[in-house]
Amino acid sequence: MHAVLGRLMVVNVKPPALYVLTAFFGLQVVLASSSAALGLPWLTYQPPYWRTLLIYGCGATYIGYLCWQQSPRARFAAYVFLSVDIVRALRGSHWLTVVIDLVVLSFMQLPSVRAIYPSIRPRKRRGLRDLQQTSSIHGDHSLQAREPQPQRRGATMQQ
């Protein structure tokens, strides 16, 4: 907040990590588009260009938008995108891309980035899920829906 002539003015400042991730995915779009427009294969931006534009043009654009909006799904989407990019880079022996993607994945593990983009399943929800699983193991006091029990041999059916 900044004080201006006795009044408080609220300034919405985005964290630097948000700019880094958004710029990274924006750069993917620029590099893939320029590679396709110039017809020059470079790193993982290889022919067929329709696939390159689909993955890097559309996918990276959407993930950059999610990162900018600080969507709860941004972190998971970035993990999926970077995993696909690492696999593509390994198949094509583009080691620089593998290193860059691993650096970005490591960057995403920093506490400042994890604070901006929290987990899809926060610990409080995971705790409830773990409680449901352990209670079904230790007895019939499960919070989950029960399946009907099979009838025993010799038991009469009631209608």
In degrees and rounded to multiples of 5, residue 5 shows phi and psi of 50, 50
Nearest alpha carbon to residue 14 among 99, 110, 105, 112: 112
Q: CA-CA distance, 104 to 108, in Å (whole number)? A: 6
Q: Calculate what percentage of the chain has a pLDDT beyond 90.
A: 35
Q: Pull the structure tokens for residue 63.
A: 């993930």
Confidence bin at 57 (pLDDT 50/70/90): confident
Nearest alpha carbon to residue 30 among 64, 72, 69: 64
**CA 111 → CA 9, 10, 17, 64, 91, distances in Å?**
28, 25, 11, 20, 32
Find the radius of gyration of the CA atoms of the chain.
25
Q: What is the pLDDT of residues 62-82, one digit of tens each?
A: 999 999 999 889 999 999 999
Q: What total number of domains does the chain contain? A: 1
What range defines the domain where residue 30 resides? 13-116
Which tops the pLDDT comparison, 4 or 51? 51
Residue 66 falls within a domain, yes or no? yes
pLDDT of residue 4: 55
pLDDT at 118 over 80: yes
Residue 8 falls within a domain, yes or no? no
Confidence bin at 1 (pLDDT 50/70/90): very low
Confidence bin at 128 (pLDDT 50/70/90): low
